Structure 1
């Protein structure tokens, strides 16, 4: 049976709101949490971008829900050895209920230290080596590593959980799905891409968990909800590789006018039917877990809606 979780947006909400939403999600009947890891928001209008590891520490003290980063890039902005330490600490604080979701990242977040933004094939190489470094440190011994992209000198994690956090690998193309099957304990894919799920499973992913996520905007008025989605998240509806390549929120703002109302296909408004259809599309595509994000505030109304109108019906209750 598909598990339904809630997606905490570090780009749209400040840390206190993220912690509040984590508690509200548990009370509403969600079974797990996603949280995004960004240095910048996609747009200035979103207005936030807190340090995810601090927020995870706070969340771990107010809810028992499992947490997955969706996703962390362990390649340029932060060295994989530091990500390993952060993830191990998160594993301890959550009592073993933490998954490290990783991906090749976006220039939007990763260019800030001044390093060049590599081509896609190089980013995949870097991610694979980074995961090797993280797993070696999770094992608990002293690690020295001199690789193509990373150096680690006599490093050891002293604070780490008995079981290392699972590593879920994000990917939105066929080559990334194959990489996730080879090196990941699970697979993350935003859209209900059944072909990519099949490729992941056929290439070695087998029965490993597959997670996906979608945005929605509950509001009393459907037209206003769609307008809010278009205002705050046009980047979700821009096709192509811009999400990986553009370096600043200003660049995404320049593309936002190209997103017409008919391109905004996420669930919006007070009718549960579009939400149920969207969740069903993930289930039909072979996803094991789906994470729903509320866009645009209205949190009390949204969580009541999810708790009474969406989750029970999605579960067949």
Structure 2
């Protein structure tokens, strides 16, 4: 059976609010919760970017049942992979085994802040391979020394290593990244309902794996309000990964999306009060073979009402698909 998740959108909510939403999402019945890991929002109207790992540590204590996941962390520029390994191990211990480490090759928006430039995609994927190798090695609890092209680790050990390590999901976007990362990751992460990704992953991956997708929605009792909110805060979504990964600032996203109209956003994101329509917008992920789908409710101002009024009935409809 498909699992449905709730997204802790760090770009649109403050840290205390995110912890409160996480607890409410567990109570209403979501199966898992994913958190973005950004240094900056895509648009200034979103207005937030708290440190995801601190938020997730608090969420681990505010919840008891839901699985937790980063969606996704880049372990190559802002963070050295040895530090990501330590953070993930600690969160796995705090959550008593509920955490999955979602990894990806990153976005310029978040990684350029450390002043190391922005490598080409081929180099970023090479870096991610090394990072996964380092994280895997450290999660054994053994002493690790690693000398790669991009990263070195000198006599490092995770002293609080969880038994069995931490499951790793890897974000992929096409056949090349699938072929490269399926042998290295435990689970597939993708933001497009592409059945070819699932098929390719299964062919290249040994053993069972989850396929974890994500989709934005804009629920509101008033459809025009829902569309306006989605346009104001999520029109960057229209750019697609090939554009979004390279833009460096919210100003860049604002300029790139200045001609995106509200009706364009409404064509790509389910907006309004119709829960059947919203549920149907998720169906392409189910048809593509995804085992897990995380819902993004757009807008901090909408979270309380969404969780109190719409989330429960929406989950019923999603599970009936």
**Equivalent residue number for residue 141 of structure 1:** 142
| Map of 2:258 onto structure 1 | 257
Q: What residue ranges of structure 2 are gaps of 5+ in the alignment?
A: none
Aligned positions of 1:213-292 closer than 5 A: 213-239=214-240, 241-264=242-265, 265-292=268-295
Aligned to 1:311: 315
1:309 Cα shift?
2.2
Mapping 1:113-262, distance limit 5 Å: 113-204=114-205, 207-239=208-240, 241-262=242-263
| Deviation digits for residues 52-87 of structure 1 (CA, Å, limit 9, x no counterpart) | 111111001110211010000001111000000000
Deviations along 1:142-183, one digit per CA (max 9) or x if unpaired, are 111111100111101101211211010001222122223121
Provide the residue aligned with 1:299 in structure 2. Answer: 303
- Contact 1:68–1:99 at 8 Å: present in 2 too? yes
Alpha-carbon offset, residue 206 of structure 1: 5.6
C-alpha distance in 2 between matches for 1:213 and 1:197: 14
| 1:111 partner SS | helix
- Confirm or deny: 8 A CA contact 2:69 2:102 kept in the other structure: yes
In structure 2, relative to structure 1, the CA distance for the partners of 1:205 and 1:272 (3 Å cut) is: farther
- Kindly state the Cα deviation for residue 239 of structure 1 after the two structures are TM-superposed: 3.5
Distance between the aligned counterparts of 1:210 and 1:24, measured in 2?
25
State the match for 1:63 in structure 2. Answer: 63
Give how far 1:205 is off: 5.7
The alpha carbon displacement at 1:91 in A equals: 0.3
Cα pair distance change 1:239/1:53, threshold 3 Å: closer
State the number of aligned residues: 317
Q: Secondary structure at the match of 1:258?
A: coil
The 2-side partners of 1:129 and 1:49 are apart by 27
Tell me how far 1:240 sits from its aligned partner: 5.8
CA contact (8 A) 2:276 2:317 kept: no
Q: Secondary structure at the match of 1:100?
A: strand
Q: Which runs of 4+ in 1 moved over 4 A?
A: none
- Segment of structure 1 superposing worse, 48-57 or 189-198: 189-198
Note closer, same or farther for the CA distance 1:188–1:205 as it changes in structure 2 (3 Å cut): farther
1:49 paired with 2:53, answer: no
SS of residue paired to 1:172: coil
Call closer, same or farther: CA 1:209–1:63 in 2, change over 3 Å. same
Deviation at 1:32, TM superposition (A): 0.4
Residue equivalent to 1:16 = 16
Contact 2:129 2:181 in 1 (8 A): no
Of residues 36-45 and 172-181 in structure 1, the stretch that sits farther from structure 2 once superposed is 172-181
Structure 1: tracts of 5 or more residues without a match: none
Residues 10 and 18, structure 1, Cα contact 8 Å, conserved in 2: yes
Once residues 176 and 193 of structure 2 are traced to their aligned partners in structure 1, the CA distance between those partners, rounded to angstroms, is 17
Native 8 Å contact 2:183 2:204 kept in 1: yes
Counterpart position of 1:107: 108
SS of the residue corresponding to residue 212 of structure 1 reads strand
What is the correspondence of 1:73-84 to structure 2 with a 5 Å cutoff?
73-84=74-85
Are the equivalent residues in 2 in contact too, given 1:14–1:49 (CA < 8 A)? yes
Task: Let me know the Cα RMSD of the aligned residues.
Answer: 1.4
Decide which moves more: 164-173 or 234-243: 234-243
